Structures are given as C-alpha cells and as structure tokens.
C-alpha cells in the first residue's frame, strides 16, 4: 500500500514535467553561454597558473573532494550517499573520457555544476548544484582550469542504480528542480558591507552550509523559512547557525566563528563527525579574510525563534549522583566545570550547539566515539572514546541530560528510548552485561 | 624437523617477513576517525548465573570454601571471601583461559631442578584447573587420614594449623601436588577474587574496595592530589557503573 502510494506520487512528479516544465526557467541554460563549447576537458589543459590556483581554492571552498574523492582516486567518485529514496553514488569527475567527465566541454561543466544538468542526464540534488548555482562565472572558469589539471582515473560508477523507482529516473529531477531549484547567480546586496556579501556568497554558494544546516522537507528540499536554523542528517545534527542565543551563534563572536572554521574549534565547541570533515577538507583552507567574511555574514542572520528546552526537575541527590558519574567518566577531559580543553576537547558549559532539542550529536559521540578535526593549526585530533560497552541507554541518557543542564545550561532531557534507537541505528555494541 | 630446526626456520621466516613487510608498509595520513575499542580490548565479565562449571564437586567446593574463608574470614572489617563471591570468581576464572593455562607454556620436557632455578619459582606442566582438582582432593584425603573428618568440617584452628604447615612447605600432599605452591595459588586467587572489579564475579558490592579504601575505576584523581591526610569520602566505582 505504502509503496503503491510512493509510486503514484512519482508518476505525479513525472506528469508535472510533461505539463510544460521544460520551458520553466529552472532548466534554462543561457547562463552557461559564457563558457566555451568546443574543447572537451580531456583535450584541455590550462596553462594559466594563477587561474589553476584560484580554481583549487574554489574546489576547496566547494569541498568537491568530500564526495568525489574516496579510495578510488582523487575525484574518481564512489562515495555512497544514503537518501530516503535509495543509495546514490558520487560520480567520477576526473577528465577520463569513458568513466569521468572527459567529454564535457566547459559549457557542459557549467551546466552540471551550477544547474545539475549532467552528461548522463539530470543530477540529483545530493550534488549541491542548488548552492553552486551562486558561483560566479569567474570562479567557474577558474574551477574548470583546475579540473583540467586533475589526473584522469578510469573508474566506472553507477550513480543511481541504488535508487528506488521512480527516483531512479533522472528526468524526475527536472520536476524537482521546477519545484525547488532557483536558477540564479549571486546578487550582492549593496546596502551591506563587502565582507558581508563575500560571506553570503561563500555560505550560500561554494560552502553550501544550508545543505546540512537547514532542515529539509519530505522531498529533501531545504526549507527556506528555517534557513540555517539546524538540520538533521540522521546520524548527526547540524546545529542552528543563526544568532539564537540558546542554541545558535548568538553568544559566539565573529572572530571565534572564523577560528572554528579554520582550526576546528572556537575554544568552546570542537568540530567532529561530518563537520570535522568539512573543516579538514574545505574550511581550513579559507583565507583569514574569507573566514571572517563568513562569520560576519552568519552573525547578521536574525535569531531563530527556538526557545531553550525545558530543563527536567532533578532532586539534589540525583544531581549529586550524576555529578559523581560525570567526575568519574567525563571530567578528566571535559573538566570538572564542563570547561573542556580549549581547542581540543569541547566544553559543555555554554556550548550552545549541544543544547538544542535534538541531542543526536551527543548520543552519537557517546555510542560511537568521535574524533576532533585534524587541521594544519590544530593537529591533535583528540578522540572521544565510545561508552557503548560501559553504559546502558539509561546511563547515557542521564549523563547527557546532566551535562545539558549543568553550569548554566538548560535543555530538554535526553530519553533512554532515543539512545536505544540510535544504538540500533548506528550498530553500536550493547553494554557489557554483568552478573547480578 | 626437530625442535631446534623448527626454531631456526621460524627465525628466518620472521626475518624474511620483516623485510617484506617493511617494503610494503602502508603510509597513513591524518588520524583514524574511529575511536571505538575493538572487541579484543573489551573486558570479559564473569558468566551470568547458572551452576558452578569447574567446582562441580560438592566436597571440592566445600574444601576451597573452608580454605578461602580462613584466608579472608568474615569480621568487623568486611565479609568473608565466600560471602564476597570469591568462589564464583574462582570458578569463572578456572572455566576460562586462566583455568586452561592459555598463557602458560605447558609442554615438556620439565626438569624441575633446572627450570625452577632459572625462574625462581615452582614450574608446572599442569593447568590451574588441574592443580585445583588434584590439590583439593589431596587436602580432603589428608584431613580424612589425619583427622578422620572432612576438611571443611575441621575447626578454624585446625584448618589454620594445616594451612600454616602447607605454606611453610612442611606438609606432604603426595607426589602429584606441590603443597606450598598450591597454598600460594589459592592465596593469590582469593586476593584477586576479593579485590578485582565486581564485573569478574567477586568483590561483591565492592566490599574489598570499601575495606581497603580503594575508590575504584575512576579516570582522574587530579582534584584530590593535593588533599593529604583527609577522608575523601569517595564511593568506589565499578568498570561497568550501573551494576
């Protein structure tokens, strides 16, 4: 029954395309006419060293390697992305003519990166062309020059073989684009500073921050009304980046945000999980000016309406018991007063990214452990061990509730059921069972 | 191939392997993202519930209980060894790798005068499980012969006298049992059972730790290093906290 409805829904999406969607501006490729349409990537090697260098910077900013580089070689694809509609595999974007993008012209490349129109048909919006649409022509020309220096790798990828019907039909994405894709470049706001505009260009364009930090609707499109107010990635949670003082960046200075982006820590929070990857592969390469520009723009985003969670009532004896559990298990690194170790181990006191209603990151770290970002300036990459073997669901829920409500923090309690569900989802081991 | 040749060929294999593997050594970049302990590094708890697995004979069990409870009797300082779960601890250990001597070299030849001189302690070809089996039977036989009663039925003073002689090497339990070494084995195991983490079956309610004032598996003592000559009132903590 449920499947039947899904199929019917897909047919509706397809029908929408038939109803004249082609003419819709989402698929208008006139923006790409500034690019050359005669020489393919396989036959082109840029000799403009400056353009190649700038293009590498654009590649870092866009974090292309995050998805396109796995064990099969630089930019050779093969990264599996789980979506609610099946598994997608990232494509080979090396200049190989058989399995990569060697047959693309610069114009084809512009169409693919900025509009999601690829050489095998429509791209899926797991590729953030929705954000890359903002790339300037100059950045695209430079990126093209950089890609011409990439070594061709023969690696065949079936990008959408793991998608379920009707989502395995690339044409369906034309319908998706019609509904959700804004086919337009970046328009500076002349009433704002240059830094602000540069920051917004990075955040909304190459940085594609909202890909994770904005919530998505049932068809995986970002909800504009909740722009950068936090989004769930299933296993992890990308926190609120607005100026919300309870769960966002309201109490973090622009300088500290810039430091977080380039080192992995602002002295309170420490990047781990997918954010550690974003810092390692992309954000640490931002120039100081660009990192400050991003921070300037983020600080200007009005606070979301999210209120602090309702703290549970804990008796004095319960608080004292959990204080001892905290001292025994957590304090050696996170500090007796939740102060952490600056730049290395996250603090709990005043770490607003951990205080939202969604405690996924804390539960994940407890069950599977976590690793801090490893950057040029912060090389320790301290490890959080897994406590799955040592604590049961209730133990973990209690200690997380404690840290979320101590040292001035206030947040909703974490439930044992939530920990149990994540233990199963992450395939974390059970607590060691001891005889009574 | 005799043993000497086997050892030599092992040596050359290791040398060859060393060369080959250094030439192929993988280059690691960055740091591994995973931080979870591998299963090999997990502590193995005592088996949950059920009957004794090794100490299945009632007389054997009564004998070892009688010995353990004289080594650590119940008094104002704490419970006795058996009350603190030391029999369950011992049985679980004897049922596992410790009991089967997995970490011991148990092949011949054994010339005790040579090996004991080198090692400075008695050497055996038998496993701890076998040594308990023969040792407990020999103790019971000794009691029946000298006192006409079961070892476990003897008075505390009489048991103390036997154990004192055993410890001093003055008591002959027959050619199959080194009495002095068996006494030391039991003393070592009862201490382990009384003081090891409760997850291993003994030290019930952390009675052993409470007795000696050990605060348990705490990670960090920096808050306390400067507090000398004070009662820190620390509650002991087991490795697995909720139990």
Q: Are A167 and A174 in contact (CB under 8 A)?
A: no
pLDDT at A11 over 50: no
Report helix, strand and coil shares of chain A as percent, to nearest 5. Answer: 45, 5, 50
Residue A246 known to bind ligand: no
- Domain range spanning residue A115? 27-180
Are A34 and A176 within one domain? Answer: yes
Q: What is the mean pLDDT of residues B105-112?
A: 86
Question: Could you report the per-residue pLDDT of B178-202, keeping only the tens digit for each?
Answer: 999 999 999 999 999 999 999 999 9
Q: What is the mean pLDDT of residues B104-112?
A: 86
User: In the prediction, which pLDDT does B242 show?
Assistant: 58
CA distance A286 to chain B (A): 19
* Inside any domain, residue A409: yes
Please report the residues numbered 373 through 392 in chain A whose beta carbons come closer than 8 angstroms to any beta carbon of chain B. Answer: 374, 381, 383-386, 388-392
CA A61, A67, A70: angle at the middle one, nearest 5? 120
Compute the distance between CA of residue A188 and CA of residue B86 in angstroms, rounded to an integer: 76
Compute the distance between CA of residue A353 and CA of residue A285 in angstroms, rounded to an integer: 23
User: In the prediction, which pLDDT does A431 show?
Assistant: 93
* Inside any domain, residue A240: yes
Please, which pLDDT band fits residue A117 given cuts at 50, 70 and 90? very high
H-helix segments, A266-355: 273-281, 288-300, 316-329, 331-334
* Inside any domain, residue A18: no
Compute the distance between CA of residue B238 and CA of residue B209 in angstroms, rounded to an integer: 10
Residues from chain B contacting residue A370 (CB–CB below 8 Å): 35
Structure tokens at B230: 């004070």
Are A172 and A201 within one domain? Answer: no
CA distance A399 to chain B (A): 12
Structure tokens at B32: 């591994």
User: In the prediction, which pLDDT does A119 show?
Assistant: 82
Are A292 and A333 within one domain? Answer: no
Compute the distance between CA of residue A367 and CA of residue A357 in angstroms, rounded to an integer: 18
**How is residue A83 annotated by DSSP?**
E
Contact A391 B242 (CB under 8 A): yes
* Inside any domain, residue A310: no
Residue A352 known to bind ligand: no
H-helix segments, A98-181: 106-115, 129-132, 137-147, 172-180
Residue A330 known to bind ligand: yes
Q: Are B211 and B77 in contact (CB under 8 A)?
A: yes
Contact B45 A435 (CB under 8 A): yes
Please, which pLDDT band fits residue A17 given cuts at 50, 70 and 90? low
Residue A334 known to bind ligand: yes
* Inside any domain, residue A16: no
Are A327 and A282 within one domain? Answer: no
Q: What is the mean pLDDT of residues A171-176?
A: 83
Q: What percent of chain A has pLDDT over 70?
A: 94
Q: Are A407 and A349 in contact (CB under 8 A)?
A: yes
Handedness of CA B88, B92, B94, B99 (dihedral sign): negative
CA distance B220 to chain A (A): 5
Are A292 and A349 within one domain? Answer: no
Q: What is the mean pLDDT of residues B17-22?
A: 45
Residues from chain B contacting residue A428 (CB–CB below 8 Å): 36
Q: What is the mean pLDDT of residues A193-217?
A: 96
Compute the distance between CA of residue B243 and CA of residue B235 in angstroms, rounded to an integer: 14
Asked if A394 has any chain B CB less than 8 Å from its own CB, the reply is: yes
Tally of structural domains, chain A: 3
Please, which pLDDT band fits residue B9 given cuts at 50, 70 and 90? very low
**What are the Cα distances from residue A169, in Å, to A67, A81, A83, A119, A173?**
21, 17, 15, 14, 8
Which residue among A370, A386, A395 places its CB closest to the CB of B37? A386
Please, which pLDDT band fits residue B209 given cuts at 50, 70 and 90? very high
Smallest CA-to-CA distance from A48 within A137, A143, A136 is with: A143
Smallest CA-to-CA distance from A145 within A18, A25, A272, A44 is with: A44
Read off the pTM.
0.87
Contact B242 A394 (CB under 8 A): yes
Min mean pLDDT across A167-171, A413-417, B29-33, B56-60 is at B29-33
Are A199 and A138 within one domain? Answer: no
More confident residue, B118 or B131: B131
Are A276 and A345 within one domain? Answer: no
Q: How many other CB atoms sit within 10 Å of the CB of residue B159? A: 21
User: In the prediction, which pLDDT does A177 show?
Assistant: 84
Which residue among A328, A371, A429 places its CB closest to the CB of B237? A328
Of A300, A331, A350, the residue that ends a domain is A300
More confident residue, A50 or B125: A50
User: In the prediction, which pLDDT does B27 show?
Assistant: 63
Compute the distance between CA of residue A317 and CA of residue A18 in angstroms, rounded to an integer: 66
* Inside any domain, residue A185: no
Q: What is the mean pLDDT of residues A77-100?
A: 92
Question: Could you report the per-residue pLDDT of B127-179, keeping only the tens digit for each?
Answer: 999 999 999 999 999 999 999 999 999 999 999 999 999 999 999 999 889 99
Contact B42 A390 (CB under 8 A): no
* Inside any domain, residue A278: yes
CA distance B49 to chain A (A): 6
Q: What is the mean pLDDT of residues A290-317?
A: 95
Helix axes A172-180, A2-18, angle to 10 degrees: 80
Are A31 and A174 within one domain? Answer: yes
User: Tell me, what CATH number does A325's domain have?
Assistant: 1.10.760.10
Which residue among A388, A429, A435 places its CB closest to the CB of B48? A435
Average pLDDT of every residue of chain B:
87
Compute the distance between CA of residue B53 and CA of residue B99 in angstroms, rounded to an integer: 11
Are A176 and A92 within one domain? Answer: yes
Are A131 and A260 within one domain? Answer: no
pLDDT at A12 over 50: no
Contact B217 A328 (CB under 8 A): yes
Q: Which residue of A has its CA nearest to B30?
A: A374
Q: What is the mean pLDDT of residues A309-337?
A: 94
More confident residue, A160 or A104: A104
Are A165 and A254 within one domain? Answer: no
């Amino acid at each position: 029954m449920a499947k039947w409805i899904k199929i019917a829904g897909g047919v509706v999406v397809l029908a929408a395309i038939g109803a004249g969607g082609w003419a819709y501006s989402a698929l208008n490729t006139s923006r790409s006419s500034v690019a050359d349409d005669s020489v393919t990537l396989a036959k082109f090697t840029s000799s403009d060293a400056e353009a190649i260098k700038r293009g590498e910077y654009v590649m870092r900013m866009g974090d292309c390697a995050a998805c396109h580089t796995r064990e099969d070689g630089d930019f050779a694809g093969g990264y599996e992305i789980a979506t609610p509609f099946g598994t997608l595999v990232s494509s080979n974007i090396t200049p190989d003519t058989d399995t990569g993008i060697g047959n693309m012209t610069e114009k084809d490349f512009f169409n693919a990166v900025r509009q999601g129109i690829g050489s095998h048909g429509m791209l899926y919006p797991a590729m953030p062309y929705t954000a890359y649409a903002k790339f300037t022509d100059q950045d695209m020309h430079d990126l093209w020059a950089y890609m011409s220096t990439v070594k061709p790798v023969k690696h065949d990828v079936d990008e959408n073989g793991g998608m379920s019907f009707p989502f395995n039909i690339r044409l369906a994405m034309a319908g998706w684009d019609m509904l959700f894709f804004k086919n337009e470049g970046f328009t500076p706001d002349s009433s704002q500073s240059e830094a602000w505009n540069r920051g917004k260009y990075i955040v909304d364009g190459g940085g594609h921050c909202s890909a994770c930090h904005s919530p998505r609707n049932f068809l995986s499109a970002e909800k504009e009304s909740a722009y950068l107010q936090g989004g769930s990635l299933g296993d992890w949670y990308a926190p609120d980046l607005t100026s919300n003082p309870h769960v966002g960046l309201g109490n973090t200075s622009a300088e500290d945000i810039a430091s977080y982006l380039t080192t992995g820590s602002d002295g309170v929070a420490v990047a781990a999980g997918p954010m550690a990857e974003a810092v390692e592969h992309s954000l640490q390469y931002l120039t100081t000016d660009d990192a400050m520009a991003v921070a300037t723009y983020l600080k200007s985003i009005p606070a979301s309406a999210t209120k602090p969670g309702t703290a549970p009532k804990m008796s004095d004896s319960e608080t004292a018991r959990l204080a001892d559990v905290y001292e025994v298990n957590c304090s050696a690194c996170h500090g007796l007063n939740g102060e952490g170790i600056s730049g290395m181990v996250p603090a709990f006191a005043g770490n607003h990214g951990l205080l939202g209603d969604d405690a996924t990151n804390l539960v994940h770290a407890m069950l599977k452990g976590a690793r801090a970002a490893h950057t040029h300036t912060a090389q320790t990459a301290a490890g959080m061990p897994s406590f799955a073997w040592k604590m049961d669901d209730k133990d973990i829920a209690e200690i997380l509730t404690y840290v979320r409500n101590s040292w001035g923090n206030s947040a909703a309690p974490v439930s044992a059921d939530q920990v149990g569900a994540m233990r199963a989802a992450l395939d974390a081991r059970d607590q060691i069972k001891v005889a009574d | 191939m005799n043993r000497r040749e086997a050892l030599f060929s092992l040596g050359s294999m290791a040398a060859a392997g060393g060369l080959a593997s250094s030439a192929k050594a993988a280059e690691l970049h960055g740091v591994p993202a995973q931080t979870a302990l591998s299963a090999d590094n997990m502590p193995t708890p005592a088996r949950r519930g059920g009957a004794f697995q090794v100490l299945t004979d009632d007389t054997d069990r009564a004998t070892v209980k009688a010995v353990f409870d004289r080594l650590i009797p119940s008094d104002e300082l704490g419970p006795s060894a058996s009350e603190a779960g030391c029999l369950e601890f011992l049985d679980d250990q004897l049922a596992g790798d410790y009991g089967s001597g997995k970490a011991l070299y148990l092949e011949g030849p054994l010339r005790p005068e040579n090996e004991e001189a080198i090692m400075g302690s008695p050497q055996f070809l038998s496993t701890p499980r076998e040594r308990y089996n023969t040792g407990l039977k020999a103790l019971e036989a000794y009691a029946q012969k000298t006192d006409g009663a079961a070892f476990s039925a003897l008075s505390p003073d009489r048991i103390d006298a036997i154990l004192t002689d055993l410890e001093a090497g003055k008591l002959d339990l027959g050619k199959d049992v080194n009495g002095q070494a068996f006494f030391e084995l039991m003393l070592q195991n009862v201490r382990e059972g009384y003081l090891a983490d409760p997850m291993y079956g003994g030290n019930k309610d952390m009675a052993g730790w409470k007795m000696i004032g050990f605060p348990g598996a705490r990670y960090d003592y920096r808050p306390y290093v400067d507090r000398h000559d004070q009662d820190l009132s620390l509650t002991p903590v087991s490795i697995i906290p909720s139990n």
